[in-house]
Structure 1
Amino acid sequence: MNHTSFGLRRFSSVEELIADLARRKAKAKLMGGPEKVEREHNLGKYTARERIEKFVDPGTFMELGILNHSDQPGAEVKSPADGYICGLAKIEGRPVLVQAADKTVFAGAEGQVYIRKARSLKEYAVKRGIPIFELAEGGGLRMPDGMGSDGISASLPSREGLRHGRQVPHIVGIMGDSFGGPTWHAVTSDFAVQVKGTCMAVGGPRMLEIATGEKISNEDLGGWKLHSEKTAQIDEVAENEDECMEKMKEFFSYMPLNATEEPPFRPTNDDPHRIVDEVLEIVPTKRNRAYDMTKLIKTIVDDGKFFEIKPLFGRALITGFAHLNGRSVGIIANQPMRFGGAAGPDECDKAIEFISLCDSFHLPLIFLHDIPGFRIGSKGEQQRIPSKIMAWNQALAYSTVPKLSVIIRKSIGMAYSNMCGPGLGADFVVAWPTAEINFTGPEVGINVVYGNQLIDSENASEERKELLNQWSFDSSPYKAAAKHLIDDVIDPRDTRKFLCQSLEYACLKNGSKSERLLATWPSLY
């Protein structure tokens, strides 16, 4: 063998070449060096490699790009793997791409080789139908790598990367302060978890102060409370890195590997025909009394397991995942504990994003109604609630996964449509006998239609009672059922049985597969 042509004159044998390769890889695995690794440990944090080791199935990580380093002159020896550790692995036996920013190399900031590697491997994952996981932190683009017309031109997002159309699940954990790139990835992912105490923003407080003069703390700029309660740019919050990784895995357990597959079934011994007597105690007979809808959901689904999405945002609406007879489903339900279940602009955005996600990855949708309408008023109008209400309806109209709709108590006005009432593509719409379905609630309706008459009435109290009785009758589900405007009125105790049976028929031809018409909607929807 002629080693000279390969620039390997100093090695006299293959064994020496192999030993040199091993030394190079061992050096790369030291990351930024022992002092920087210790600094991360002293902060109570894992290194990028430790995160991956804890995250994936033991012995499955196949690293790609370990011999990378910065292409900036003089930075080669200071940038093992160019600060981004990537490869293929398995999580609970399922193949994934996992990427982790290395805070010990240039503070986790992105260089050109880092960007090239990440982009290349993501494109490969989409090509081969492999889910993408990112364990994210870092300071955005490195100044030397981004400066000049060539630097910034090479650093911008790619058209292909932005148009993958939810071909594979993309799941991000914000494990440390994240600016620039990690933020772009989190807000365009399918599921993002933020660890408390971290910051996620376009630029950090120091850059913000230099650029605009604004002084602000990390927490106020991009902390977990902001993003979980107001911006909805994250889906879940974690107390620490371990919990963050567990929540990422739990989300993944409901997802297919890619858009060509159905979500996996979860074995269960929970009888699909189980009678749920408990629902009679959970839901009050009086329609103005609140109750916790999550208790009702957990009573109905397999083994009482419900994984809520965006629990701190738009809290009058519940969205999340569960299983029914082993099948993954998405659930959209009103929460009477918040605003009586009435939806506002945030609830609209939450519903749209969740419908798009479930339809793109073939999760049937279950709707549980108890909604008195929308929170209308000047504030809602300023937040474009008419547009948001109709966008919610459009998302439903374009969704093609199986959809089942159960009216628990109230479904009033346009909100009846938004909760997948008749005409919005539900496979079946049924109601409990407690259901109240109408253009508006009895009290409001009577005040609008008969207000002047009651003012002039000599016996207004008795007349109001008589009108309320009439409106209550008109609002019962039986008139709609009689005209086949809804499919049935069911015993509340049969709700689980109805859902499991209906899903079996709704998924008979193509499983739960949709036409994925919402896959190209922006991922924030």
Structure 2
Amino acid sequence: MAFENILQEYNEKKIKALAMGSAAKLEQRKNDGILNARERISYLVDQDSFIESGLFGTSSAVESDREKTPADGKITGYAKIDGRDVAVVSNDFTVKGASSSATNGKKIGQMKRVATQRGLPIVFLGESSGARMPDTMGSKGMGSMLGNDPTQYRRMRETPWASAVLGYCYGSSTWYTGYSDFSVMRKGAIMAVSSPQLVSLAIKEQVDPEEIGGWKLHSETTGLIDRVVETDEEALDSIKEFLSYMPAHHKQAPPVCPVPKDSGSQMTNILDLLPEKRTQVYDVRKVIQAIVDTGSYFELKPRFGKVLVTALTRLNGHSVGIIANNPLVKGGAMDTEACEKATNFIVMCDSFNIPIVMLVDTPGFIIGLDAERKRAPGKIINFMSAVSLTTVPKITVVLRKSYGQAYLNMGGGRNSDEFAAWPTAEISFMDPNFATSIVHGLNPGDDGYEEAVAEMAKGSNVWDIASMYAVQSVVLPSETRDYLIRMLEVHRMRLSNGVGEHLMRTWPTAY
């Protein structure tokens, strides 16, 4: 009889914990077309693979809250995604706005420790109101809640982190998004340091939530969000797709996938995507998708730093990071946002053993007052530092033009393991038109301008640089896919089982 009572108590507590905030709150979310915290986990992970940690956790700071805080507002545990183990943190906004407390802080800490020690990716499903009050108020609250784990804010990139902004995200949800290697945001969600209500009190004027932390701000201006989606389901699908390119941990090579049969079928006509005139624009994303395995194109930060494309792809089934200038935007001239975007992407690829391919078509870096005010020198040299510190294979192919410092940043010289070019490539210190104006003082329309430009352009073709072996290969456009696959095989990191040195493992994820 005693055992029956104990089992009955267990079942009652389990039912209460699984019930979350209340039936009414869950119904409201359903009516709004938004998944709850447990539904998000169920959608994300393999069926029946989730094992919860901390189901019976409750608020510990305020005795009267114990019965009102099932799972203490943050659902944590382990699961599988596509057969691989992961750790998961899903914020339950129906319980005190998923606010951070002493108990649920321990749960997150456990997920981070296990993920780090056992080599598991970790997924944060964000929707929280920030720190819980009165738990954190007063000196005792601060002393018990904050700063007790010296590794809390230490990110060494031992395993991939992915996060989703799926509602109002303040406090810890914002921090973990900023820390993550991949972040996706649902339209209508808000991410900021503090809520608009608190900001309005501080500055004594009303603040629009979208202006302080909406999807346009973070995808187009701050660059903190990698992808924007319409629904919770799309966000969770994006996380699954991102993780499919990643190893489980930094001491492992990424997984190898089957190669779709029609991969490379567009290579015969790839030159049709490149305008014959150097001054005409085109979308380099079409070139990338023609080269890589069919269906493997996963672009990051498409709305930010749009002069540069960064995408996870596959070549012959192997994960590859693509960095490509996009002449469709600003003629491919790189700005400070593009530098930040490239640096962030390089650090991630190098940290998780993903080779990098650079496709180059740029007149250089954007110069001028605005660029200097945006700290262009610092951004350019950060980008260059990341290129220099990379220890995964780097293959560069110049499609059309590569000038000045950008030549180096985009892998020119010995900044790539293999530096190749199409026959259409032009390489020089400066665009011949600018050089003509500087050297001869001539401008378009002046007598002798065209002749002077032609003279400046001499020696910019690929054959001169190839003759001195500063370009290792001149590759026909139609053979680019085969060349890249073969060169990545040659440069495979055999001596370390596909694992790089990770010299940038502590580089900040958001800067």
TM-score by length of 2: 0.96
TM-superposed CA distance for 1:473, in Å, is 3.0
Letter in 1 for 2:113: E
Tell me the CA shift for residue 460 of structure 1. 6.0
Using the alignment, how far apart are the partners of 1:270 and 1:329 within structure 2? Answer: 19
How far has the Cα of 1:520 moved from its partner? 0.8
One-letter amino acid of the counterpart of residue 521, structure 1: W
- Candidates 208, 222, 233, aligned match of 1:217: 208
Encode CA deviations 1:237-258: one digit per residue, 9 max, x unaligned: 1101010101111111100001
Match of residue 501, structure 1, among 464, 473, 486: 486
Q: Unaligned stretches of 5+ in structure 1? A: 1-11
Q: What is the CA-CA distance between 1:119 and the residue it aligns to?
A: 1.2
**1:467 Cα deviation from its structure 2 partner:** 3.1
Partner Cα distance (1:344, 1:122) in 2: 36
The answer to whether the 8 A contact 1:255-1:361 is kept is yes
Look at both structures and tell me which one has the larger radius of gyration over its CA atoms.
Answer: 1
SS in 1 for 2:459: helix
The aligned residue for residue 276 of structure 1 is: 267
Cα contact 1:310–1:319 (8 A) shared by 2: yes
Aligned to 2:42: 53
- Secondary structure of 1:298's match? helix
Whole-angstrom distance in 2 between the partners of 1:337 and 1:405: 20
Offset of residue 275 of structure 1: 7.4
Match of 2:71 in 1: 81
* Corresponding residue for residue 485 of structure 1: 470
Matches within 5 A, 1:1-150: 12-71=1-60, 72-150=62-140
Select which of 496, 511, 514 maps to 2:500. Answer: 514
1:134 is paired with a residue whose SS is strand
1:512 offset after TM fit, Å?
3.8
SS at match of 1:16: helix
* Residue 475 (structure 1) aligned to one of 456, 460, 464: 460
| Mapped partners of 2:458, 2:413: distance in 1 | 20
Matches of residues 7-406 of structure 1 in structure 2 within 5 Å? Answer: 12-71=1-60, 72-156=62-146, 158-270=149-261, 276-406=267-397
SS in 1 for 2:345: helix
Cα distance in 2 for partners of 1:482, 1:335 equals: 28
Deviation at 1:304, TM superposition (A): 4.6
Asked whether the 8 Å contact 2:37–2:93 carries over to 1, the reply is yes
Residue 271 of structure 1 contacts residue 325 of structure 1 at CA under 8 Å; is this kept in 2?
Answer: no
Distance 2:54 2:28 in 1: 25
Cα distance per residue 1:448-506 (max 9 Å; x no partner): 11226x99xxx964x43333333333111111111111102111111101100000000
Q: 1:436 and 1:21, CA in 2 relative to 1: closer, same or farther beyond 3 A?
A: same
Q: Which runs of 5+ in 2 are unaligned?
A: none
Q: For 2:432, give the aligned amino acid.
A: P
Amino acid at match of 2:18: K
Q: How far apart in 2 are the matches of 1:275 and 1:246?
A: 27
* Cα distance in structure 1, aligned partners of 2:89 and 2:34: 17
Deviations, residues 501-522 of structure 1 (Å, cap 9, x unaligned): 0000000524542100011111
Q: CA deviation at 1:117?
A: 1.2
Structure 1 pair 289–346 and aligned structure 2 pair: CA distance change class (3 A):
same
Against the structure 1 CA distance between its residues 47 and 273, is the aligned structure 2 distance closer, same or farther, given a 3 Å change threshold? Answer: closer
Secondary structure, aligned partner of 1:159? coil
Q: How far is the alpha carbon of 1:153 from its aligned partner?
A: 2.9
Letter in 2 for 1:227: H
Question: What amino acid maps onto 2:169 in structure 1?
Answer: S
Contact 2:128 2:169 in 1 (8 A): yes
More displaced, 265-274 or 146-155?
265-274
Indicate if the aligned counterparts of 2:264 and 2:293 stay in contact, CA closer than 8 A.
Answer: no
3-state SS of 1:315 partner? coil
CA shift, 1:276, in A, is 1.0
SS in 2 for 1:520: coil
Deviation of the 1:19 alpha carbon: 2.3
Q: How many residues align?
A: 508
Distance 1:45 1:349, change over 3 A: same
Question: Residues 102 and 144 of structure 2 are in contact (CA less than 8 Å); yes or no, is this contact kept in structure 1?
Answer: yes
Matched AA of 2:453: L
- TM-score with structure 1 setting the length: 0.94
Deviation digits for residues 27-65 of structure 1 (CA, Å, limit 9, x no counterpart): 110011212211222222111111111111110110010
* 2:252–2:498 contact (8 Å) kept in structure 1: no
C-alpha deviation, 1:170, in angstroms: 0.7
Q: Secondary structure at the match of 2:164?
A: strand
The CA deviation at 1:228 is: 0.2
What CA distance in whole angstroms lies between the structure 2 residues aligned with 1:410 and 1:153? 58
Distance in 2 of aligned mates of 1:317 and 1:49: 37
Partner of 1:4: none
Quick one: percent identity of the two aligned structures? 40
Structure 1 residue 419, shift from structure 2 partner: 0.5
- Structure 1 pair 269–194 and aligned structure 2 pair: CA distance change class (3 A): closer
Residues 168-212 of structure 1, C-alpha deviations (whole Å, 9 max, x = no match): 111100111111110011011111111000110011111111222
Alignment-mate amino acid for residue 510 of structure 2? L
State the alpha-carbon separation in 1 of the partners of residues 253 and 261 from structure 2.
Answer: 21
More divergent stretch after superposition (426-435 vs 273-282): 273-282
What are the within-5 Å matches in structure 2 for residues 410-489 of structure 1?
Answer: 410-424=401-415, 426-451=416-441, 461=447, 463-489=448-474
CA RMSD of aligned residues (A): 1.7
Distance 1:222 1:269, change over 3 A: closer
- What is the Cα deviation at residue 145 of structure 1? 1.0
Q: Is the 8 A contact 2:493 2:500 kept in 1?
A: no
